[in-house]
């Protein structure tokens, strides 16, 4: 391992785009590399800096209207960074971070502001604010269900040929036809999910890290991870979610089986919304 | 007796209104006792709801003729209101929503409880501030700080600040006691006619980026020697821990000063406040002595971590009900990385969320959703407990039940 070059992570504008605690995504990525013996360098890029263009992985978070317009202008001023995001590096963009990479977005007064024009998508102001838990099925292979918390009023329309990151099973997502959530290109993973999304979905974190390092990553076993996911993925989510790890494991296995069966059946025609039904037999605690 | 009858003859409509108010208050009290009798809860808020259902203008009716102080902001409002109420009691009886129920129903319940008090100290949820201020015409408004909290309800910090700003603009006669160290507060208050600026401290600045209003000149500040105010320096002997509580005390002293309480009198009253609706209280349970701390959001937890300094054991309890904010992402804004190693348990309905956060911060811990069962995993002696809102309330209730014979 010695001499291995560090993975460089660029945390973009955490001073502007971190209202919804998406900075945790950087923590998750860095720790998952360190725990596997891969060295990490984190560049925290604030508004007053000239952004480095040589990072392997960039991370953008969510923020409020004014912050978002500011971030979009900042990106437009740094065209070299935009080129790096579009062509060289991998990028995770969350919520406002996703919107600013598109063509334009509307603020709360309905005014349009130009985005960085890296992604073929536009965001109108939706008819209502989407707030709550979301479950999607991720388009990336082997990632499975994504869980997160959305809190936005953007209705994001993807251009032709641009694919969503996942299909919404529960929650709102992009709030446009097709029940898509987020956006997925060869270089960019965009999503509305907070949580932070990579803390909730380690498989998505590892998919990004795999794309960056090009190496197989051995699994990590974090004691509370299964319960965090099971609490949100359970088709009969209960409050309070007092779940033991054993029950969490069972529950996840059940969901996986159920989902994969359904997706095999329905995938070509788009995915039906979760009707909160259990997979046939559903003995809970019996 | 005679005088009220005379008034009744002169203005029968006023008499009817007064009788209606009494009826409504009585209904509220009955609802309270029923709720308490049936053990549905402490009862106050239910009474408030009944009164508001029968008389939507109850807040305005019940504060008529009283001098009202509103205390708002994201963090520290309950403590500041308790300290302020203790200081105002040196002038006379004070109605106060001491439980921390700070939405209109809780405010009404406190006002119904004490009809005669000339003063009212009301802690108000910052999202309700504008409506409440319109109803009660406050003499004084205390604004501690503004930061991210329950964003599933407030949506955006700056929108909350704009609401506060509008509330202040609508009441030019109100004296605003404001924290000059919080740029969002300064932005919201600037333009108000009568402002008393206080340097109350603000560690958390992450929501104020791009806000660069000049820091106003302060009339009140605090340091190791005590509170500096217009009367000079008054030593501060607080029973409550933490630097942030010295800031809260300074805000309270400035607000009390606006209503005529001398600095030394306020300081003496503050010394008698040892716990604030159960917060900071020491509770013995079996082999453990628990110190209960409430942390509702990243700014609050960030202020608490340093005072956990030498605690031998830690218990973190986190829920995600509506009153807590249903999104637990905020845990990732708390710098748990700075915690030294010691026996630690992650607990509450969201035990796994805080447990996962601790794992990524490399804080060795165990995870047990039930906080009382979690105690059994910790060594005997002192345990510092940090819980968020509903987790704190439910733990207090269960501890009280266990302690009862």
On whether residue B276 sits in a domain, the answer given is: no
More confident residue, B351 or A281: B351
Q: Do B356 and A20 touch (CB under 8 A)?
A: no
pLDDT at position A163 = 95
Q: Do B359 and A224 touch (CB under 8 A)?
A: yes
Q: What is the CATH number of the domain that holds B242?
A: 3.40.1190.10
Q: What percent of chain B has pLDDT over 70?
A: 90
Which of B79-83, B101-105, B107-111: highest mean pLDDT?
B79-83
Q: Which of B155, B146, B356 is nearest to A149 (CA)?
A: B155
Mean pLDDT, residues B58-71 taken together: 94
pLDDT at position A272 = 31
**Cα distance between residue A147 and residue A228, in whole Å:** 10
pLDDT at position A266 = 38
On whether residue B14 sits in a domain, the answer given is: yes
On whether residue B249 sits in a domain, the answer given is: yes
**B296 — pLDDT class (breaks 50, 70, 90):** confident
pLDDT at position B308 = 87
Residue of B nearest to A194 (CA): B329
Write down the ipTM of this complex. 0.82
Residues in chain B closer than 8 A to A20 (CB atoms): 151, 327, 329
The contacts of residue B398 (CB under 8 Å, 6+ apart) are B371, B372
pLDDT at position B45 = 80
Same domain, B15 and B123: no
Domain count, chain A: 2
Please tell me the least confidently modeled range out of A37-41, B275-279, B400-404. B400-404
Looking at the complex, does the CB of residue B344 fall below 8 Å from at least one CB of chain A? no
Same domain, A108 and A243: no
Q: CA angle, A238 as apex, A237 and A244 as ends, to 5°? A: 95
Looking at the complex, does the CB of residue B85 fall below 8 Å from at least one CB of chain A? no
pLDDT at position B204 = 67
On whether residue A277 sits in a domain, the answer given is: no
Q: Are B342 and B372 in contact (CB under 8 A)?
A: no
Q: Least CB-CB distance to B206: which of A18, A196, A231? A: A18
Q: Is it true that the peptide bond before A196 is cis, omega within 30 degrees of 0? A: yes
How many angstroms separate the CA of residue B351 from the nearest CA in chain A? 8
Q: Are B387 and B324 in contact (CB under 8 A)?
A: no
- pLDDT of A241 higher than 90: no
Kindly list the distances between the CA atom of residue B405 and the CA atoms of B290, B373, B402, in Å, as whole numbers in the listed order: 19, 20, 8
Same domain, B179 and B228: yes
Kindly list the distances between the CA atom of residue B27 and the CA atoms of B55, B62, B108, in Å, as whole numbers in the listed order: 11, 14, 13
Range of the domain at A201: 7-213
Q: Do A31 and B207 touch (CB under 8 A)?
A: no
More confident residue, B313 or A16: B313
Structure tokens at B400: 């009280």
Mean pLDDT, residues B157-186 taken together: 89
Show contacts of B33-36: CB within 8 Å, 24+ apart. Answer: none
Q: What percent of chain B has pLDDT over 90?
A: 56
Q: Are B347 and B315 in contact (CB under 8 A)?
A: yes
Q: How many CA atoms lie within 13 A of B383 on its CB side?
A: 28
**Cα distance between residue B119 and residue B92, in whole Å:** 8
pLDDT at position A285 = 30
**A137 — pLDDT class (breaks 50, 70, 90):** very high
Residues in chain A closer than 8 A to B148 (CB atoms): 19
More confident residue, B44 or A275: B44
Q: Do B359 and A64 touch (CB under 8 A)?
A: no
Looking at the complex, does the CB of residue B331 fall below 8 Å from at least one CB of chain A? yes
Looking at the complex, does the CB of residue B359 fall below 8 Å from at least one CB of chain A? yes
Q: Which of B270, B208, B195 is nearest to B239 (CA)?
A: B270
Residues in chain A closer than 8 A to B338 (CB atoms): none
- pLDDT of B196 higher than 90: yes
More confident residue, A242 or A11: A11
Residues in chain B closer than 8 A to A70 (CB atoms): 210
More confident residue, A256 or B197: B197
Residue of A nearest to B328 (CA): A195
Q: Are B229 and B219 in contact (CB under 8 A)?
A: yes
On whether residue B277 sits in a domain, the answer given is: no
In a 10 Å sphere around its CB, with 0-12 CB exposed, 13-18 middle and 19+ buried, how is residue A54 labelled? exposed
Q: Do B356 and A222 touch (CB under 8 A)?
A: yes
How many angstroms separate the CA of residue B209 from the nearest CA in chain A? 7
Please tell me the least confidently modeled range out of A89-98, A254-263, B76-85, B309-318. A254-263
Kindly list the distances between the CA atom of residue B321 and the CA atoms of B76, B237, B392, B394, in Å, as whole numbers in the listed order: 21, 36, 12, 12
**A248 — pLDDT class (breaks 50, 70, 90):** very low
Looking at the complex, does the CB of residue B364 fall below 8 Å from at least one CB of chain A? no
Same domain, A126 and A258: no
* pLDDT per residue as tens digits for the range A165-174: 999 999 999 9
Same domain, A206 and A130: yes
Please tell me the least confidently modeled range out of B145-149, B179-183, B187-191, B388-392. B145-149
**B2 — pLDDT class (breaks 50, 70, 90):** very low
- pLDDT of B72 higher than 90: yes
**Cα distance between residue A24 and residue A14, in whole Å:** 11
Mean pLDDT, residues A39-49 taken together: 94
Q: Do A149 and B346 touch (CB under 8 A)?
A: no
First and final CA of chain A: distance in angstroms?
A: 49
Same domain, B52 and B66: no
Same domain, A119 and A89: yes
Query: What angle do helix axes A225-233 and B351-360 make, rounded to 10 degrees?
Result: 140
Same domain, A249 and A193: no
**B24 — pLDDT class (breaks 50, 70, 90):** confident
A to B CB pairs, distance under 8 Å: 110
Q: Residue A141: phi, psi to the nearest 5?
A: -60, 140
Same domain, B201 and B321: no
Residue of A nearest to B371 (CA): A242
Q: Do A21 and B369 touch (CB under 8 A)?
A: no
Same domain, A167 and A250: no
Determine how β-strand B344-347 pairs with β-strand B175-179: unpaired
Q: Do B331 and A149 touch (CB under 8 A)?
A: no
Q: Which helix H or strand E contains A190, and what residues bound it?
A: strand A188-191
Residue of B nearest to A243 (CA): B369
Q: Which of B341, B328, B329, B338 is nearest to B391 (CA)?
A: B328
Q: Do B332 and A18 touch (CB under 8 A)?
A: no
Mean pLDDT, residues A26-55 taken together: 96
| Chain A positions touching chain B (beta carbons under 8 Å) | 15-16, 18-24, 27-28, 31, 47, 64-67, 70, 129, 131-133, 149, 151, 194-196, 199, 222-225, 227-228, 231, 239-243, 248
**Cα distance between residue A190 and residue A196, in whole Å:** 13
Q: Do B327 and A151 touch (CB under 8 A)?
A: yes
Per DSSP, what are the bridge partners of residue A230?
none
Same domain, B17 and B90: no
Mean pLDDT, residues B344-370 taken together: 97
On whether residue A220 sits in a domain, the answer given is: no
On whether residue B375 sits in a domain, the answer given is: yes
Structure tokens at A51: 């952004």
Residue of A nearest to B390 (CA): A240
- pLDDT of B6 higher than 90: no
* pLDDT per residue as tens digits for the range A66-81: 889 999 999 999 999 9
pLDDT at position A84 = 96
Domain count, chain B: 3
Range of the domain at B207: 62-271
Residue tagged 């309890």 (tokens) = B317
Looking at the complex, does the CB of residue B149 fall below 8 Å from at least one CB of chain A? no
- pLDDT of B219 higher than 70: yes
**Cα distance between residue B199 and residue A182, in whole Å:** 44
Q: Which of A139, A133, A113, A137 is nearest to A124 (CA)?
A: A113
Same domain, B138 and B210: yes
More confident residue, B105 or A60: A60
Q: Do B327 and A24 touch (CB under 8 A)?
A: no
**B372 — pLDDT class (breaks 50, 70, 90):** very high
Q: Do A227 and B351 touch (CB under 8 A)?
A: yes
Please tell me the least confidently modeled range out of A122-126, B150-154, B214-218. B150-154
Same domain, B96 and B245: yes
**B206 — pLDDT class (breaks 50, 70, 90):** low
Q: Which of B10, B7, B105 is nearest to B53 (CA)?
A: B105
Residues in chain A closer than 8 A to B394 (CB atoms): none
Across chain A, what does the average pLDDT equal? 84
Same domain, A245 and A182: no
How many angstroms separate the CA of residue A160 from the nearest CA in chain B? 31
Kindly list the distances between the CA atom of residue B43 and the CA atoms of B40, B48, B400, B404, in Å, as whole numbers in the listed order: 7, 9, 16, 19
SS (H, E, C) chain B: CHHHHHHHHHCHHHHHHHHHHHHHHHHHHHHHHHHHHCCCCCCHHHHHHHHHHHCCCHHHHHHCCCEEEEEECCCCHHHHHHHHHHHHCCCCCEEECCCCCCCHHHHHHHHHHCCCCCEEEEECCHHHHHHHHHHHCCCEEEECCCCCCCHHHHCCHHHHHHHHHHHHHCCCCCEEEEECCCHHHHHHHCCCCCEEEECCCCCCCCCCCCCCCCCCCCCEEEECCEEEECCEEECCCCCCCCHHHHHHHHHHHHHHHHCCCCHHHHHHHHHCCCCECCECCEEEECCEEEEEEECCCHHHHHHHHHHCCCCCCEEEECCCCHHHCCCCHHHHHCCHHHCCCCCEEEECCCHHHHHHHHHHCCCCCEECCCHHHHHCCCCCEEEEEEECHHHHHHHHHHHHHHHCC
Same domain, A196 and A236: no
Q: Which of B42, B76, B79 is nearest to B146 (CA)?
A: B76
On whether residue A81 sits in a domain, the answer given is: yes
SS (H, E, C) A152-186: EEEEEEECCCCECCEEEEECCCCCCCCCEECEECC
pLDDT at position B208 = 61
Q: Least CB-CB distance to B158: which of A64, A149, A223? A: A64
Please tell me the least confidently modeled range out of A17-21, A148-152, A155-159. A17-21
Q: Which of A119, A114, A111 is nearest to A85 (CA)?
A: A119
Same domain, B36 and B106: no
Q: What percent of chain A has pLDDT over 70?
A: 81
Same domain, B241 and B304: no
Q: Do A16 and B332 touch (CB under 8 A)?
A: no
**Of B297, B352, B361, B367, which to mutate for an interface test with A (greatest number of A Cβ within 10 Å)?**
B352
Same domain, A143 and A20: yes
Same domain, B265 and B292: no
Q: What CA dihedral angle connects B153, B158, B161 and B165, to 10 degrees?
A: -130
Q: Least CB-CB distance to A228: which of B158, B349, B356? A: B356
Same domain, A153 and A233: no
pLDDT at position B215 = 79
Spell B153-173 as b/e; 16+ CB within 10 A means b. bbbbbbebbebbbebbeebee
Same domain, A207 and A258: no
Q: What is the CATH number of the domain that holds A102?
A: 3.40.50.880
More confident residue, B244 or A204: A204
Q: What is the CATH number of the domain that holds B347?
A: 3.90.190.20
Same domain, A230 and A195: no
Q: Do A131 and B152 touch (CB under 8 A)?
A: yes
Q: List strand residue ranges (DSSP E) for A28-80, in order.
A: 40-45, 57-60
- DSSP-derived letter for residue A48 is T
**Cα distance between residue B200 and residue B333, in whole Å:** 22
Same domain, B108 and B213: yes
Same domain, B260 and B320: no
Q: Which SS3 state, helix, strand or coil, does residue A92 take? A: strand
Per 3-state DSSP, chain A is made up of helix, strand and coil in percentages (nearest 5) of 30, 25, 45
Residue of A nearest to B366 (CA): A223
**Of B160, B326, B327, which to mutate for an interface test with A (greatest number of A Cβ within 10 Å)?**
B327
**Cα distance between residue A9 and residue A215, in whole Å:** 17
Across chain B, what does the average pLDDT equal? 88
Residue where one domain finishes, among candidates A173, A190, A213: A213
């Amino acid at each position: 391992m010695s001499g291995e070059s560090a993975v460089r992570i660029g945390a973009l504008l955490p001073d502007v785009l971190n209202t919804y605690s998406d900075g945790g995504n950087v923590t998750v990525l860095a720790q998952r590399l360190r725990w596997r013996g891969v060295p990490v360098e984190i560049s925290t890029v604030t508004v007053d800096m000239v952004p480095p263009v040589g990072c392997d992985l960039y991370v953008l978070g969510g923020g409020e209207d004014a912050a978002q317009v500011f971030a979009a202008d900042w990106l437009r001023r740094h065209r070299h960074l935009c080129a790096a995001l579009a062509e060289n590096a991998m990028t995770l963009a969350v919520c406002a971070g996703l919107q600013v990479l598109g063509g334009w977005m509307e603020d709360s007064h309905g005014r349009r502001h130009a985005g960085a024009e890296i992604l073929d998508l536009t965001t109108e102001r939706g008819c209502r604010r989407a707030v709550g838990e979301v479950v999607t099925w991720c388009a990336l292979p082997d990632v499975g269900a994504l869980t997160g918390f959305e809190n936005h009023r953007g209705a994001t329309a993807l251009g032709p040929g641009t694919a969503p990151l996942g299909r919404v099973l529960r929650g709102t997502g992009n709030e446009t036809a097709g029940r898509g959530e987020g956006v997925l290109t060869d270089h960019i993973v965009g999503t509305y999910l907070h949580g932070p999304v990579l803390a909730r979905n380690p498989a998505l974190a590892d998919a990004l890290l795999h794309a960056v390092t090009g190496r197989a990553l051995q699994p990590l076993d974090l004691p509370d991870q299964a319960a965090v996911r099971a609490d949100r993925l359970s088709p009969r989510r209960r409050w309070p979610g007092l779940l033991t790890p054993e029950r969490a494991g069972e529950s996840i296995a059940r969901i996986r089986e159920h989902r994969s069966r359904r997706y095999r059946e329905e995938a070509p025609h788009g995915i039906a919304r979760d009707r909160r039904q259990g997979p046939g037999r559903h003995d809970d605690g019996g | 007796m005679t005088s009220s009858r005379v008034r009744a003859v002169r203005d029968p409509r006023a008499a009817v209104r007064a009788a209606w108010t009494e009826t409504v208050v009585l209904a509220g009290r009955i609802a309270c006792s029923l709720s308490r009798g049936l053990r549905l809860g402490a009862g106050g808020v239910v009474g408030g709801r009944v009164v508001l259902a029968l008389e939507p203008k109850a807040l305005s009716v019940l504060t008529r003729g009283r001098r009202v102080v509103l205390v708002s902001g994201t963090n520290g409002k309950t403590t500041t209101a308790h300290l302020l109420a203790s200081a105002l009691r040196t002038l006379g009886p004070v109605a106060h929503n001491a439980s921390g129920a700070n939405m209109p129903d809780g405010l009404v319940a406190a006002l119904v409880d004490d009809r005669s008090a000339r003063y009212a100290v009301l802690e108000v949820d910052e999202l309700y501030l504008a409506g409440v201020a319109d109803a009660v015409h406050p003499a004084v408004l205390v604004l501690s700080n503004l930061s991210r909290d329950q964003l599933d309800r407030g949506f955006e910090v700056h929108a909350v600040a704009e609401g506060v700003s509008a509330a202040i603009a609508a009441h030019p006669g109100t004296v605003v006691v404001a924290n000059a160290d919080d740029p969002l507060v300064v932005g919201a208050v600037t333009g108000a006619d009568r402002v008393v600026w206080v340097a109350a401290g603000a560690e958390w600045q992450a929501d104020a980026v791009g806000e660069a209003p000049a820091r106003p000149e302060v009339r009140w500040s605090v340091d190791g020697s005590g509170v500096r105010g217009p009367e000079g320096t008054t030593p501060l002997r607080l029973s409550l821990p933490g630097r942030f509580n010295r800031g809260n005390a300074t805000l309270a002293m400035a607000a009390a000063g606006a209503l005529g309480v001398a600095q030394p009198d306020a300081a003496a009253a503050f010394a008698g406040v040892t716990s604030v609706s159960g917060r900071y209280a020491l509770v013995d349970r079996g082999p453990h002595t628990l110190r209960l701390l409430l942390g509702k959001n990243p700014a609050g937890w960030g202020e608490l971590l340093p005072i956990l300094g030498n605690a031998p054991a830690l218990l973190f309890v986190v829920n995600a009900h509506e009153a807590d904010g249903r999104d637990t992402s905020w845990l990732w804004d708390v710098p748990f990385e700075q915690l030294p190693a010691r026996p630690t348990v992650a607990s509450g309905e969201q035990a796994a969320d805080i447990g996962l956060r601790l794992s990524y911060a490399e804080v060795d811990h165990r995870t047990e959703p039930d906080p009382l069962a979690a105690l059994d995993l910790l060594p005997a002696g002192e345990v510092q407990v940090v819980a968020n809102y509903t987790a704190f309330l439910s733990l207090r209730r269960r501890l009280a039940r266990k302690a009862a014979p």
